[in-house]
Structure 1
Amino acid sequence: MPLPARAAQTHALVVGIDQYPNDVSLDGAVRDAEDVYRAMSAAGFTVRKFTNAEARKDDIRKAWTDMVAEAVAGDTIIFTYAGHGAQMPELVAGDEADGLDEFLQLPGFDRNRYAETSNEIIVDNEMNAWFGEAESKGVHVLFVSDSCFSGGMSRSVTGKSRLAPAVTVKLAPPSQEALAGANLKEIDFKQVTVLAASLESQPTPEVIIDGEPRGALSWSFARAVEGSADRDGDGVITRIELEDYIFSNVKNRSEALQVPNFMPQVARSEGEVVVRLTRGIPVETATVAATDTSDTGGAATTPKAIKPARELGWTGSIALQIDGTADRPKNADGTGTPYRWDVAGGVFYTPNGDVAAENVGADRIQAVVDKYVLLDFLKALASQNPGSVSLTPAKDIYAAGNRLRFDAPPGRYPNMLVFNLANTGEVQFLDMQVAGTASSQFKLTDVEVVKPFGADHLITIWTAEPVDAIGAVLADKAVTSETLLKALLTRLDGKEASVAIQPLYTRETL
């Protein structure tokens, strides 16, 4: 009998660098690489991993060459990088609109010894040549770059930026590929997708996730590969599914410091597949094993498992450093990089170093702590099923007098709750829409930024679960974050619900 058709396979190359002997070292890039490696290995991908001193260009190049040789048309190669990015004068005159080539900086590169160490960078032109090798075989490529090349930020964040100093002198091309690749541009590729941590005008900071320094893009991509981005459970992640998932969760985990950048900017088709979550399973077997095809036109799907928040790392407490003399509030004995409360100044800081609240005295500290315990719970829910909301204009921080618009479009579930977790710790009920009633897009227009300043978080929850009881809790003017958390734990934890979180950081002047 004929053998079953071969399913497309996925090969992966993972690079993560913390230790830079000749530059500022990072704290979370290797942790990112290990996380992505575990997720992709569990998904059945063939994965090659290089961290710190192992990340030598010749070895990475050979691994890429081997993967391209092993792959056949229809397969996918995923290359993820977490580490420093930098810029240099363009190698080919007129090649770059800004006159600068970007490069990934490996540990062996030393700006003080350009000639001897220039081989330990990977220039964007070289990567174009690598991608061209795969595309010529009909192999799909997804490049995920958790690094940055330029930009600055308005908020004062204590974490490190994945931006190395630019090279200011013109270097000789590190390889022939660096010249040949200049003739290849992203727009020319038909099967290559690039996912960058941020726009070129933004930095890529390391932020605190679950108490540890991380890259928000790497963290989100690992969760996507675990299956959270596979919205319909059909075993593949389309470009649209990945885009929706990554945009929402990078915003949540970076507290709106980053906007990821996809190239090409628009999906080539509605069903364009960028990640396959199964490897080496015969097509017929995968189809027969499907449990639900009602919503996908007969495609193989598997019901998506929804985990309770505690299985996703939520602990019900936060770590808190108290600078000064004060009683420790409850639920503030967690581990990891802490929030910080300056008792004398009354300022409450996030683990990233942002000002989260001002005028926080002993009478308010419990409410603020409870807010962040609740917010961590909501972030855990959002990591499985994020929703999409927007704040216009989009900034990382707003000044007094700025006017804003908040939009929460209808979700794919019939019931919706909208509320604000204010920087004071107060819960502010904004809207509830339930099935069978007149519902529409929720909007806040012409909102003016006023005191008190700090960090608010606008929350939207969509679900098919009944929300009347939660709405009743929210409608109580005396509602607290602690009370709301209990209601959400009872009604929505482990249930199917889509959560969107819109951070809103404000101060008196910029």
Structure 2
Amino acid sequence: MPAAVRKLSAAILAGSCLVGSCLVAGHALAAPATRAPETRALVVGINAYTELKPLKGAKADANDIADALGRLGVPTTKLLDGQATRKAILGTLDRMVAEAKSGDTIVFTYAGHGGVEKGRDPSIEALDQTILLGGFTALKPGNGERIIDDEIYERELVASKKGVRLVFVFDSCHSGTMYRSIDPRAGEESLRSQIFDIVGGDALGPIRTHAPGPPPDGVFHYAAGQDSERVPEIVTPALGYRGAFSIAFAEALRGGADRDRDGWITHGELQEYLLPRTRALADGRQNPNFAPDGFRGTRLFQTSRGAEQPDQPATVRLRVIGMAADAAAELAGRLRGVTLVGQPDQPADLVWDAGKREAVSAGGDVVATGIGPDRLDGLAEKWQALVRLKAHKTSLVMRALPDDRARKAGETVGLAVEGVNGGSLTILNLAGDGTVNFLYPRYPGEEKAVAGEYRNLDFSKAIPPFGADHIIALSSTALPKALHERLKALDDRRLAGAAVDAVLGVLANDPKARIGVQIVVAKPQ
């Protein structure tokens, strides 16, 4: 554990004066004005790659984060695609560190490909983590267009020694795995990781290797996923292709993370916002990684009081396969709030396979099986309801236990809900076709206060109809009796929109209420 981050305060530099002024030759000499700490940022986003697979949402992530920083009055240097060379990135970062004074903050955000390679000194570190820039190629000199984690660490040491705070935000990943495979009907997957080999010599010179460990004092790391995870680009109805972690970070800067509304975002508040929000947006495929473990009260960003207003609901984009174009258009025309997507390269929120009677999400999960055209209305209503729900910035951390993998028929699913506020906990489920299931509290004795964590290792089992259930948890100050009566009336009916509206009604009237969403995917075998 690193030593505590120094609390820096301005000192009055007036010689030996003990008050705000001193006398020199009979005249009053005013003390120099106190310099307020400054924050500057370097924001990088790369879609275009010379040799690696292009990305679709990294530039949009960078633009969104730069906009959010700009609203906080943070001077920002933005490097996109071909501008984001190794020389430009490291040169800008070095200049910012050199010019910064003790107490200043430098923010560096990166959206693009990441990778791992064999450690330069395996006796110290088996693997090096890297960020891969647009001009990267396997051969020299292009293989020099990458930055090794040890090079970042060297700059962290310099900044820490000066008393300059560094905040790193990485929306990239390495060559890990995912719990659930991506159905190809969702379209070509876009992952922010690449496996690569250096061929014909390395254009980078000697780089000092550092043993893995916590960051130096005053350095904070925020990463989109664990080292063992791959980070997918997601498709949202309002924003198109994006990184879930970048969306959450930009929302956090706009006020979403300022939970106590004191005008400051702390290290702890960022973690508490980014983890559930990223998991909800990515349907549980990502688990952000933060360091250091402590110093949760450290203030990082000054923001305006009050959270960002929720996004406006958007229509659901539907692609139909296995059906004639005119029939698909007629079908979509009967579905309220649905726009038909015709071209394969256009993003779709849902893909319905008419031949197999299955629906696939943009994230690549089979979310409904055995669903014919007569039941698509319930599925579409559920997806619109989820858009409204997620717009309200989910803040409860929910997990399927023991992990997020797809369940086979008959397998048990456990559930954990973290951060319950000590009041009432309500849990409901939206099945793949939009059917509402009121789950908790349903029985005598369950209507009791829950503090900290709700945990049930035998919460439910995977049974037909298979697909994706979305479990919704609501933590409220008092027992929401009217909501429970409403959910009982909606139980086992395909009225997902009405159920979510009832939940959001409690959220609107209870400032301390919090919500969370957890996807559970089940398949026949």
For normalisation by structure 1, the TM-score amounts to: 0.85
The amino acid of 2:181's aligned partner reads R
Q: Is the 8 A contact 1:419 1:429 kept in 2?
A: yes
Secondary structure, in 3 states, of the residue corresponding to 2:362? Answer: coil
| One of 189, 196, 209 as aligned partner of 1:166 | 196
Structure 1 residues 305 and 252 mapped into 2: Cα distance closer, same or farther (>3 Å)? closer
Q: Please, which of 391, 399, 410 is the counterpart of residue 400 of structure 2?
A: 391
Match for residue 338 of structure 2 among 332, 335, 338? 332
Match of 1:448 in 2: 461
Q: Does 1:272 align with 2:298?
A: yes
- Deviations 1:443-498 (Å, cap 9, x if unpaired)? 44323222222111110112348833322210113551132244345554586331
Paired residues, what number? 468
* 1:344 and 2:355 matched: yes
For 1:133, what is the secondary structure of its paired residue? helix
Shift of 1:322: 2.5
Please state if 1:503 is matched with 2:496: no
Secondary structure at the counterpart of residue 262 of structure 1: strand
Indicate the structure whose relative CO is greater, using CA pairs within 8 Å and at least 6 residues apart. Answer: 1
Matches within 5 A, 1:13-412: 13-97=42-126, 100-111=127-138, 113-114=139-140, 116-153=141-178, 154-156=180-182, 158-169=188-199, 171-172=201-202, 174-176=204-206, 179-180=207-208, 182-183=209-210, 185-187=212-214, 189-211=216-238, 212-264=240-292, 266-267=293-294, 269-273=295-299, 275-277=300-302, 304-305=306-307, 307=309, 309=310, 312-315=311-314, 317-323=315-321, 324=323, 325=327, 327-328=331-332, 329-333=335-339, 337-383=348-394, 386-409=395-418, 411-412=420-421
Residue type matched to 1:230 in 2?
Answer: D
Amino acid at match of 1:200: D
State whether residues 159 and 207 of structure 1, in contact with CA within 8 Å, keep that contact through their aligned partners in structure 2: no
Tell me if the contact between 1:186 and 1:263 (Cα under 8 Å) persists in the aligned partners. no
Question: RMSD of aligned C-alpha atoms?
Answer: 2.6
Structure 1 residue 50: deviation in Å?
0.3
**Matched AA of 2:523:** R
Task: Quote the residue 2:497 is aligned against.
Answer: 482
Note closer, same or farther for the CA distance 1:305–1:236 as it changes in structure 2 (3 Å cut): closer
Instruction: Rate the CA distance shift 1:73–1:3 in 2: closer, same or farther, 3 A.
Output: same
For residues 330-361 of structure 1, give each alpha carbon's deviation from its aligned partner in whole angstroms, at most 9, with x where no partner exists.
12138853311112211011122321100001
In structure 1, distance between residues paired with 2:424 and 2:313:
25
SS at match of 2:364: coil
Q: 1:4 to 1:343 in 2, by over 3 A?
A: farther
Name the CA distance, whole Å, in 1 between partners of 2:417 and 2:505: 25
| CA distance in structure 1 between the aligned counterparts of 2:255 and 2:35, rounded to whole angstroms | 22
Task: Calculate percent identity across the aligned residue pairs.
Answer: 29
The Cα shift of 1:394 comes to 1.4
Q: TM-score, normalised by structure 2?
A: 0.82
The answer on whether the counterparts of 1:33 and 1:82 sit within 8 Å (CA) in structure 2 is yes
Structure 1 portions without partners, runs of 5+: 279-301
Q: 1:417 to 1:18 in 2, by over 3 A?
A: same
Contact 2:255 2:307 in 1 (8 A): no
State the shift of 1:87 in Å: 2.4
For the Cα contact (< 8 Å) 1:128–1:185, is it kept in 2?
Answer: no
Gaps of 5+ in 2: 1-29, 342-346
Give 1:56 deviation, angstroms: 1.2
Q: Aligned in 2, Cα 1:415/1:191: closer, same or farther, shift over 3 Å? A: same
From 468, 473, 476, the counterpart of 2:486: 473
Is the Cα–Cα contact under 8 Å of residues 255 and 308 in structure 2 kept in the other structure?
A: no
Tell me the distance in 2 between the aligned counterparts of 1:170 and 1:243. Answer: 42
1:96 is displaced (CA, Å) by: 1.4
3-state SS in 1 of match to 2:69: helix
CA contact (8 A) 1:86 1:149 kept: yes
